[in-house]
Chain A
Amino acid sequence: MLTIGEIIEIEKAKVARRQPSEEDLRRIPLDRPARVFGRLSDPKQIQESLQSMAELADLVRVAREDGFRTELSQEEVERRLAALQRKEPDTVRYWVDGQLIVDLRDLGISGRLGPDKRPALADLMADLSRGEAQDVTGTIYLSSEGLSRLSRDQDRIVSAQLLKLLKEANCRVRTPYTVLNPRIDTDWRVLREKFEDAAKESRHLQEDHFGPKIRSKAQKGEHVGLPVPPGFIIEIKGYKSNGAYIFGKWKPYPPHAEIDIKILEEYVRQQGSKYKAAQALRGLVFPLFPPELKWMEKRSSLRNCLKNDHGYIITPEVIDGLAGQLALVGIWKWADIFIVNNHEPVVPMDLFLEAYALRHHRGGKPRGRAAYYEPLDWDGLLWCLNHEAPRHISGHSSDGKWVCDRDYHNGVGPICLKINHQIISQPLTTEFLKCLDLRSYAREVFDELQTRSMTVEAEEAMRKHQEAQLRNRLANLETYLGSADPELEESYRRQIKQVKGELRALQQKPLPTRVTIADINRVQHFLENLEDEWQKLSSSLRNRLLKLLVDRVEIVHQRGHIQAIIIWKIGFKQKVDIEWEAGSSAQERRWTTEQDDLLRTLWPTVTRDTLLAAFPDRTLRGIISRARNLGLRRKVRLFPSHWEPWTTGDDARLRELYVRGTPVEDIAADLRRSISAVVGRAHLLKINRLKKARFLKRKVTWEVLNFYGLEAVSPSLLPTPAF
């Protein structure tokens, strides 16, 4: 039989096993460390908010009164806080005093920020994340402002994390007036509401206080955080108590300002083409900020630009931005605030106005053509290997061109490749289809076709059924109308409206494409003759098929010649060497440095025939134009000084050559006249070229080399870039 003493022990054990009461949970655990947590939003508050700082000293006293063992006297704590307020050197913001940790490292840091920018908060969260251990903070002492000291996170993420950590670590939140433990349901709700209130309060503060403050600063034309355009730096008016800058207006920065002028001059010279301007300015950069202006790196709009060792690269986007940047002429613009002559301009007004007009004239033109397009067959598969790293060649289906222009858009080089898509697509497609053999899948394709046909039929039947159901329902509802009960009447009308809406939506839904069942032979024929059927297919489908089967096409190109290697997903490779009559696209006509040098040497003295012989791929008009661009002068006349009349023989010869479609340059050379003279005479005589001569299709030839996996392929032939 149990004794009374034993029964009492059993009952005591039961009590010990029972859930702790709310009173137990709110009791301050003196066996675990406590933490006094101080935070003020603005560094100025440390000096100015005497009440807040005094409260921190009070918190230490409260902790001591709660029973925590400390070694520092209250006077010493107050002295340390006072030193902090006076910004004395070597002040401490964090100390451990017996069982008490005083952490003031977040003083002067906004509560909106997360632990990545708040050392005290990060430390607290790391500590709490260790759970309910003996050495983990058991009580947090907060001033009367409560949880807003911990976080005012607007996304409520930090507050939610904190709440969870506090609960898991069984950590109490102690303010001068109350103790809360998130393990108690009611306390958890209170804490959550307080975090919410803190976040809302911060938002209101921002809207009611800081918003007007920024606006008032902006109205004075002073820096309010906008990226500073190139050509300016920010005037520093002073320093805040925390050492932060107090900014004034923007002021000119000559090293960048002179670049601004050069850019706008070039932009105007290029008639508003930011790309041409970027090309012309290749090599010119905005110098990097010197160490004493390092703080500008984060504040200048150049921070988003491409950078090399010498400075910030001038891209077409930079040029475009500058041409519309009002600040360059001293106009301050912030939201709806405009201040003329706010700061010193860095570019002449005339130049800016000209650039602005060009930009305004060019920009914003709607281009409806791009609203819908089908991709080119090989879109997304072509890679240009004429660079250090492979570059994607984009397909411009609106003008049917393959273009490799990343360097050009970045302002670091010319357009690498711009070519009629047929020059590449035709050989690649021909060779690809020649090797593709899908005939063995005729049965599977046929089965799938039948399945899809059945699905479409089922969909159509279902749709008809739904439509009939809705119509019946609508008819029924309409018979109920005219009820004496207004509420019922209203309900019917509402339902009728809803059913009508559903019916309309169903009718507007696009009909599924009907599938005409073909027999297996038709499918077989299609797969056998894919080459013949190819042009009947939409380019998006052709592109889909190619993307399914081809991994990539690597392209190395030079004038008039392209080497393309088709790499199939199954590993099969085809090398296609494409040749075409080069010289008609702008990219192909580009003058090289060597040609420029040769022209400089020849231009002053040699005859027209010599020039044409020296540049066999070029026309006389092209040579003259280039010479003008280079600023070259002739020492002898290029053309005879007197004009020779057209003879009957000349006219007959002109008619014969012109109608045949002979290039105008060749006719001009044949008749020893200028191109404009030839064209003008042909126009005068009303000679028309044949239509097919006007639109000559360039001949593309190619040679293929299929790799069967048996050849030893040299690495130079098959570059394997890192994709």
Chain B
Amino acid sequence: MKSGLLVEYMVSGFPHLRQVSGLPETLMPDFAKASHTLGDEAMLKVGEPLGLVERVKTMLSQAPDPSTVPPGIWEQGISNWPPIHQVRSVTMALLRACEKVEALERRGVLKISPALVRGLAAIAYAPFSPNGSGLLSKLADILGVTVEEPARLIDRYMTAVATGDADTPAAVDRCILEDPAWREWSQRLLATGRDFPFQPRVIGICPQLTSGLKQVLVSMMMEVINAYDRRDYRN
């Protein structure tokens, strides 16, 4: 496999995935940078416990240069992916869950623990993993939702976290840790996340650069360069 090919595929394919699944344009603006930072090796290492590596490697060895793939083929290929209809709902549910977690942490009622990250990551990723159906059905049983509604799994999980129901998150965590493949996957994912050098943005609203905006940004730059220590003084 050509080095960096997976990253190139991910970077080239992400805009098409966003378009086909109906995700907003503003979502995950740092996707390319994060993918490049991570690299093929780290990504494959994380996916290894779930048995993804061989499949990916086989596919990539036969795949052409991603820049030569026409947009139509990209879109058709992504549309044919069975769980594509779940991408939007699961992503939005995950975003809401992250907003909720941040709010709870600010309020001091929740501490972001590895178990919480593991739970959210596994629930969000299981519907898209080829080996995820087993875990998904177990999680659905715990959370009282059907496997056809993975977004609701996240909602239920967050409701339990927010209401202080300690049993449900504990049961979810236990379920993940009992499965050796998912346990390993989650451990590698958490380790990769911990070592990641920057925090990617979730949303990136990029307003049009008017002359007024440009002038303000230049003035701001000048203030910063001119080394005002702190100008937040009050009258």
The answer to whether B235 and A538 have CB atoms under 8 Å apart is no
- Distance in angstroms from A415 CB to nearest chain B CB is 21
Assess the A701–B106 pair: CB atoms within 8 A.
yes
* Least CB distance, A41 to chain B, in whole angstroms: 56
Report B-chain residues with C-beta under 8 Å of the C-beta of A568: 205, 207
Query: Per DSSP, are chain A's interface residues mostly helix, strand or loop, or mixed?
Result: mixed
> What total of A-B pairs shows CB separation below 8 Å?
140
Q: How far does the alpha carbon of A523 sit from the alpha carbon of B214 in the complex, in Å?
A: 12
Which of B27, B96, B224, B228 is close to A526, meaning CB atoms less than 8 Å apart? B224
Q: Is the CB of B204 within 8 A of A400?
A: no
Within 8 A of B (CB), among A683-723: 701-706, 708-711
If A445-B218, A526-B221 touch, does A710 touch B228 (CB 8 Å cutoff)? no
**What B residues does A516 contact at CB under 8 A?**
222, 225-226
CB<8 Å pairs between A and B, sample of 13? A397-B234, A398-B235, A435-B205, A445-B217, A445-B221, A452-B222, A513-B226, A535-B230, A536-B223, A541-B219, A579-B107, A702-B103, A703-B106
Contacts A518-B225, A710-B88 hold; do A570 and B218 have CB atoms under 8 A apart? no
Residues A708 and B24 in contact, CB atoms below 8 Å apart: yes
Tell whether B166 is near chain A: CB-to-CB under 8 Å: no
B100 touches A708 (CB 8 A): no
Within 8 A of B (CB), among A119-161: none
What residues of B have a CB within 8 angstroms of the CB of A533 in the complex? 220, 224
Known contacts A435-B205, A701-B103; A537/B222 CB under 8 A: no
Does B212 reach chain A (CB closer than 8 Å)? yes
Q: Judge whether B167 is part of the interface by a CB distance below 8 angstroms.
A: no
Contact B214 A537 (CB under 8 A): no
From B24, B27, B88, B209, contact of A444 by CB (8 A): B209
A609: CB under 8 A from chain B?
no
- Give the complex CA separation of A579 and B108 in angstroms: 12
Whether A444 lies near B214 (C-beta < 8 A) is yes
Question: Which A residues from 517 to 549 make CB contacts under 8 A with B?
Answer: 518, 522-523, 526-527, 533, 535-539, 541, 544-545, 548-549
Q: A535 vs B230: C-alpha distance in the bound complex, in angstroms?
A: 7
Instruction: Verify B204–A705 contact, CB threshold 8 A.
Output: no
CA distance A434 to B224 in the complex (A): 20
**Residue B2, interface by CB 8 Å:** no
Across the interface, which residues of A come within 8 angstroms of B205, CB to CB?
A: 435-437, 568, 570, 572
Contact (Cβ within 8 A) B216 A544: yes
Q: How far is the CA of A704 from the CA of B98 in the complex (A)?
A: 10
Q: In the bound complex, how far is the Cα of B219 from the Cα of A705, in angstroms? A: 31
How far, in angstroms, from A440 to B223 measured CA to CA in the complex?
21
B234 touches A400 (CB 8 A): yes
A666 within 8 A of B: no
Q: CA–CA, A538 to B224, complex, Å?
A: 10
B230, A536: Cβ atoms closer than 8 Å = yes
- B-binding segment of A30-38, A368-376, A614-622: A368-376
Instruction: Report the bound CA distance from A516 to B206 in whole Å.
Output: 27
Within 8 Å of chain A (Cβ to Cβ): is B170?
Answer: no
Determine whether the beta carbon of B216 is less than 8 Å from that of A541.
yes
A449 at the interface (CB under 8 A from B): yes
Name the residue of chain A whose CB is nearest to the CB of B29. Answer: A437
Most buried by A among B88, B201, B203, B209: B203
8 Å CB interface, A539-570 against B:
539, 541, 544-545, 548-549, 568-570
A438 within 8 A of B: yes
* CB of B69 within 8 Å of the partner chain: no
How many Å from the CB of A397 to the closest CB on chain B? 6
A515 at the interface (CB under 8 A from B): yes
Inter-subunit contact B96/A441 (CB<8 Å)? no
- Min CB–CB distance B137 → chain A (angstroms): 28
Q: Which residue of B lies closest to A544 (CB)?
A: B216
A 27-51 contacts with B by CB, 8 A? none
| Set A438, A522, A703, A708: member contacting B27, Cβ < 8 A | A708
The 3 A-B residue pairs with the shortest CB-CB distance in the complex, in nearest-first order: A437-B204, A703-B103, A708-B24
A373 near B235: Cβ-Cβ < 8 Å: yes
Residues of A within 8 A of B212 (CB): 548
With A449-B222, A541-B219 known to touch, is A374 a contact of B103 (CB < 8 Å)?
no
Residues on B with C-beta less than 8 A from A522 are: 225
Are B226's CB and A548's CB within 8 A? Answer: no
B92 at the interface (CB under 8 A from A): yes
* Smallest Cβ-Cβ distance to B33: which chain A residue: A439
Closest Cβ–Cβ distance, residue A692 to chain B (whole Å): 18
Complex interface: chain B residues within 8 A of A518 (CB): 221, 225
